Structure 1
């Protein structure tokens, strides 16, 4: 049965004495602590001569009551005395949490930190891109050093295995674009222009844009997680130790694979989107499936295909470089892998959308509108 700490009050010539007895341990001091907190009588001495065991919680309880009542601690053993002195010396008057600055100071400070972090990150990214192109230049001069097996493996992972999800997504987007476009054009009796809307929008914008977003979430995040894990387990340091360049062995095959596969995936996505539009047009508009596809060749100018094809490798480069860069920045612990993976996806999608807007303005200015 557990023995609980307790106390008795004794009156003597030296005044009121609070005699503690029992083990002053964290497991047995709960009852005593509650009694001391509500004790109202005056106490001149706290006698610890009957205390057989004490820990830091017990020492703190005695010290706290001594300060509250102004009583002197007597009869303490050598161990009890050292513990009480240690607890008293460890006390701090600092706030448990630092005081937050005022809002008018806190917001500009936070914005300033973000701006500085963006500037530093941009400088590091520029250095990473420079190292990437230096490695590519070295491999061009020494083609025997290029890791063809790794490149082909990345072609399979980023391209072939992505076909089902990209195809399904593009087919459904084509259905949505054709259905919603037809619903609006029907008000003007212009349902036939659903073919123009679906074909041009899919080949020019949606095909490559949605593919880039999907690849950023699928392959870009995989690049960041794979390289980040290798960085965390010191595999990359081991590669440098044996004279293998991580940039040439890990980054270059991934970047080149995505640059090569993105135009093919973008075109594949556009084709599936058009097929989805033809499918819904056959069901709801009465436009035969093959007629829809034949009409696409007449209403979609060839430069729309070139617009999507030109944008695709640029988007692939952005996604691959962002994923590999964030993976190489991992350090510290496994939480950093998740953080950097998330950051790679967000940054890649943001940069792809910004560049897509730039391309839209640029191609309009050059007459490819």
Structure 2
């Protein structure tokens, strides 16, 4: 009798476990609840499945709650036209941190879309990149989506791709290139600092400006809408200069801002290029870290036979400019995110280096 009771109890326990594993527990509404699955973020197969945009997907018209944003100085990617959005969970807000950063709530998704202008002066979508803050482990995760030829949707694409395109640069010059859609590991290389994957562009200092046509500072607008908490008086928030705005910022300010956005995510302590000793953050003041009369550490053939990263007053003999002015693999810097030379950026850095006094620093 005792053996039968034990067997029956054990049998019922096993059956109960099987039912829970197969169906999940049900709440009052009858909806299945599985805490492990509910708290783990999973990337969808198609961009359209997220519901970020309404109407024709390629037009990127944001749904309510999808916040568009712009950067004072954006990273260069083959003259790509970029549209950026932040998707916050309903009822949540970003928080301004003491060090001038932004703390995003769990389940935030940052959306970055890339298009190019073709020879018919039409925008053609190439890729969309997502950064998602997984609520399960509080870590950011990345995924790329490659747009189809019909321009109707973008499909999850992990392995990267090379897309032959004919584009127009800022002066309507035709350029032929194989645009490189990065694989997820490439994305991680740029976004990882101290072994932690983090957003690059949306920092408070790079959002602290008035977007053309909006009439109000971007950060102040978000604070007024309740999606940004803890914003101090705007004059206490650092501002990254617009590299293209020679009217309001000096040549040095613009050059340093350009290097910060395009290079410092790797060239910083804890970044992918930490071993080079070349640190290009906007706040950096150490001449050696900035490359002033500094010999390269790991450039190899990429140095072009030149001796120093930056020679004040002599851009033509500076490794920094030499690598920026190349699209050759193994030489070009940044080595990811571009396949053509950014002529305007090269001119800016050339002018900056040549403006330095040869005896300075």
TM score, norm. by length of structure 1? 0.21
Quick check: which has more Rg, 1 or 2? 1
Q: Which has the higher contact order (CA 8 A, sep 6+)?
A: 1
Q: Higher strand proportion, which one? A: 2
TM score, norm. by length of structure 2? 0.21
